[in-house]
Amino acid sequence: PVTAMRLSYVGELGWELYTTAEHGLRLWDLLFEAGQEHGIIAAGRGAFNAMRLEKGYRLWGADMTSEHHPYEAGLGFSVGKDKEGYRGAGALAARREETAVRALRCLTVDDGVTVVMGKEPVYVNGEAAGYVTSAAYGYSIGRPIAYAWLPAAVAEGDSVEIEYFGERVRATVAAEPLFDPAMERLRG
């Protein structure tokens, strides 16, 4: 038994398949064999992470936690403004009206090769101002990507520095998503 859902957390037209551990290996083998004529490859968690970052998909527990609210995390579009009576509705309505002091921002690393790991400090105008939440090499865009919490005043096009093993690496705040902004690939 398999549950197949036509959705994708990596921003591509695809499926998520769920089965029990008992059937997992057999399902893997069947799909891998059937996919050979289509050029299927086994891609792991690193590829998954890179693709979600290219699409601007946030990861709970890494990019945002209970310390953050949806508006500063770039997820205000997902808050039902016409719904009432749920736990936290009043608090979210108040947050919507506030001016954010921090924001989750997408960064591209200027040197094109340095892939930070996450949790590194980010400097704005020479001062520590935030930290990296997630990072990966973006194979579709051909450069390293990082997401970081920064002061809300730091805007698209601004230059920042990420401290990486004692060195400062320049990065630029980028518009998101970095890949397929019109979401055409998800529509097939």
Which residues of the chain form CATH 2.40.30.110? 53-174
Q: Global pTM?
A: 0.88
User: For the chain, what percent of residues have pLDDT higher than 70?
Assistant: 99
- CATH topology for 53-174 is Elongation Factor Tu (Ef-tu); domain 3 (2.40.30)
**Omega before 177 cis (within 30°)?**
yes
pLDDT at 47: 92
pLDDT at 65 over 80: yes
